[in-house]
Structure 1
Amino acid sequence: AKIVLLAPFEGRYREVGYNALYAARLAFADSGAQNIDLYPVDDGESPESAAQRAAAFNYEPTVKLIIVLGIDAADETVQEALAPLPTIIVGHWNSVPSFSHVVMLADPTIDERVSSFSSLTDAAEAEAPLVGDELLALQQLPLLREDLNGITVLSSAILPDAAFRARYGQGDPFAPQPGLLATLTYDATRLAIEVIQNETPLTEMHYDGINGSIAFENGYWMNAPLYEYIYRDGDLVPASPQ
């Protein structure tokens, strides 16, 4: 069986894919899963390309579940192309779970509170005060925007602690620093593995992870936590203690 990680591994947003990849690898190592493989796939840097790649998974009978990150991969056209494969969107990515096979690890109230950006460049040039989702948590934002005052990031993910950071790269010198969605990607991967092992529908699963208890209702994480983050000295930090 395969779990596909559909995310950007090339271009401007490649940090999203690689950040998720190392978290997913750690989840696999911790699970000790047998006969389940992680299959990273680049989204092709556009919703159209991601949708073409997504449609192909339905012709691969070993693919059992999809984990999605990034603006393009989370697009509604991609969600439709993935049907009926169970799909977990990790984070918000200016999207909604549009179909019954899709669940999203995000609080639905984020929709009402964030500004909508089509790209990180748009976000970097927007006037403060600025409220956004995980797009504003990317590690390249401080390189694109000199003044980070007045930026608030909303997410259901908790930042990795020291113990998670120490295990994250597993000694790989090329491993990035774990970003905001690393722990949530870890939880999504452990959840996906349990779905396959237990032969339980994704929408009926309950999983207790680093980010708390995860179950789904109407496509969203039921009773999802919601955290606010701000930038301090160029680093993303909780706006209040977690």
Structure 2
Amino acid sequence: MSWRGTLRARKSGALDGRAWCTRLRLALCLLLLVLVLPAGCSFPGSVRPTVKIGLVAPFEGRYRYIGYDVIYAVRLALREVNSAGGIGGYNVELVAYDDGGDPALALQQARKLAIDPQVVAVIGHFRDETTLAGLDVYQDAGIPLIAPGVLASSLTDGRDGVFRLGPPSSAIAEALVGRIVESGHDSLAVVGAEGALGSAILADAELRGVGMIAALSLDGLEWEDGAPFLAADAIVCDAGPLVAGEVVVDLRAAGFTGWLLGGPSLLTGDFAAVAGSAADGVLLVTPWPLPSEVEGSDDFRIAYQDMGYHVSPPGPLALPAYEATWLILEALERDIAAEGEPTGQSVSGILVDAERSGLLGRIAFDGQGDWADAPLYWYELGSDGLPRLSSELSTPLRVL
């Protein structure tokens, strides 16, 4: 045989060997696929039925900090329950929509949730104006709404299926005006008097006989140096964190040296960022404490930040959103156990008598749908803009 024939024979043998190896690898892959498919695929009858919880919050615009504070908390609660097998054989999914802090968009998003037959409860919208915009839609659809972060007294007035995870504005106003009176001050001005908290402060101050120097609207708000209301002992600001920050800066620049107070919105980082050094000494009261100061919250805070890349530490609305989700999950469990298939109407009925002891303490709703006996926490901002819990005024932060 010539050298050319010898070479052809060698090549043929090598090709046959490679073909045999290829066929062997293919056979092994097919065998592995057969072994893996039963464990990894879903066959008819093996898929858990799905039930959905809706979440509506601002994820864009000036209030986007709210959306990104709450969504990881809701997702965490759902991950915990689904990893444990779901609720009564059901997998629980999240449907989240952005309302941008806009009432018109909030109404559209509420309608989307209302036509989804798998949605049995909604958490939202975390702002007074947007939450009120969607109320009638949820009621007509028979879908219960749990609303953290909403102070408007009209939220739960005569409405079924609406639950406020916090106190109404009157309770916050009573605490603020009471604190002013107890400190020996007898004159007050309100900036943002048209808001839920601002109007409640006006009513409470009138009942107590506190001198009201001025009630200012945020619309077209401006004043001149030496304006009479700058002589008030205390000024309470009811505004979103960005606007409130600007107001505080302007008040200090105009020479106001008295007490500056506010409600829950002043606990956000956006307020301190805008107000800067003018935030020094600002006193605020809120039913939603920072998770970092809640006893027993370490595991929650770690798991929360593990929900994604570069997730910021949870803010003041993270725990209310987390507890709201678990209230719904526990109601779902009871509903499925009793009826077999969950519905919004039955979940709503269960929430009326629901009770949960979690990281925010005992949560139960009164006959109005408000969180009965919600604790309040006082914070004072320092020159560094960081809020510090005023422990002598606040309910102890502990797990019940």
Q: Output the TM-score relative to the length of structure 2.
A: 0.56
* 1:137 to 2:267 alignment: yes
Tell me the equivalent position of 2:361. Answer: 212
Tell me the equivalent position of 1:166. Answer: 302
- 1:221 partner SS: coil
Which is worse superposed, 191-200 or 65-74? 65-74
Q: Which one has a larger percent strand, Structure 1 or Structure 2?
A: 1
Gaps of 5+ in 1: none
Tell me the equivalent position of 1:234. Answer: 385
Tell me the equivalent position of 1:86. Answer: 144
- In 1, the alpha carbon distance for the partners of 2:264 and 2:372 equals 19
- In 2, the alpha carbon distance for the partners of 1:130 and 1:65 equals 38
Residues 75 and 29 (structure 1), Cα distance of their counterparts in 2 relative to 1, 3 Å cut: closer
- In 2, the alpha carbon distance for the partners of 1:111 and 1:38 equals 34
Deviation at 1:122, TM superposition (A): 2.9
- In 1, the alpha carbon distance for the partners of 2:312 and 2:154 equals 28
- In 2, the alpha carbon distance for the partners of 1:154 and 1:73 equals 21
Please, which of 102, 116, 122 is the counterpart of residue 243 of structure 2?
122
Q: What are the equivalent positions in structure 2 for 1:18-167 lying under 5 Å apart?
A: 18-31=68-81, 32=84, 33=86, 34-71=90-127, 74-83=130-139, 84-94=142-152, 96-98=154-156, 99-108=159-168, 109-112=171-174, 113=176, 114-115=197-198, 117=238, 119-126=240-247, 127=251, 129-146=259-276, 147-161=278-292, 163=298, 164-167=300-303
Q: What are the equivalent positions in structure 2 for 1:172-187 lying under 5 Å apart?
A: 172-187=308-323
Aligned residues: 242
Q: What is the one-letter code of the residue matched to 1:209? A: G
Residues 223 and 74 (structure 1), Cα distance of their counterparts in 2 relative to 1, 3 Å cut: farther
Q: Which has the higher contact order (CA 8 A, sep 6+)?
A: 1
| Deviations 1:138-163, CA, capped at 9 Å, x for gaps | 22112211211242332222321361
Residues 165 and 235 (structure 1), Cα distance of their counterparts in 2 relative to 1, 3 Å cut: farther
Q: Is the contact between residue 260 and residue 282 of structure 2 (CA under 8 Å) also seen in structure 1?
A: yes
Which is worse superposed, 93-102 or 23-32? 93-102
Which is worse superposed, 1-10 or 62-71? 62-71
Q: Is the contact between residue 136 and residue 153 of structure 1 (CA under 8 Å) also seen in structure 2?
A: yes
Which is worse superposed, 11-20 or 171-180? 171-180
Q: Is the contact between residue 60 and residue 100 of structure 2 (CA under 8 Å) also seen in structure 1?
A: yes
| Deviations 1:200-238, CA, capped at 9 Å, x for gaps | 521121111110111101110011111112223222221
Residues 231 and 153 (structure 1), Cα distance of their counterparts in 2 relative to 1, 3 Å cut: same
Q: Which one has a larger percent helix, Structure 1 or Structure 2?
A: 2
Q: What is the one-letter code of the residue matched to 1:80? A: D
Q: What is the one-letter code of the residue matched to 1:192? A: I
Q: Is the contact between residue 242 and residue 270 of structure 2 (CA under 8 Å) also seen in structure 1?
A: no
Deviation at 1:95, TM superposition (A): 5.6
- In 1, the alpha carbon distance for the partners of 2:280 and 2:127 equals 24
Tell me the equivalent position of 1:202. Answer: 351
Which is worse superposed, 107-116 or 219-228? 107-116
Which is worse superposed, 153-162 or 10-19? 153-162
- In 1, the alpha carbon distance for the partners of 2:386 and 2:151 equals 21
Q: What is the one-letter code of the residue matched to 1:105? A: L
Gaps of 5+ in 2: 1-50, 177-196, 199-236, 252-257, 336-346
- In 2, the alpha carbon distance for the partners of 1:96 and 1:138 equals 25
Q: What is the one-letter code of the residue matched to 2:161? A: H
Q: Is the contact between residue 51 and residue 78 of structure 1 (CA under 8 Å) also seen in structure 2?
A: yes
- 2:97 partner SS: strand
Q: Is the contact between residue 101 and residue 130 of structure 2 (CA under 8 Å) also seen in structure 1?
A: no
- 1:89 partner SS: strand
| Deviations 1:2-32, CA, capped at 9 Å, x for gaps | 1111101111111111110111122122333
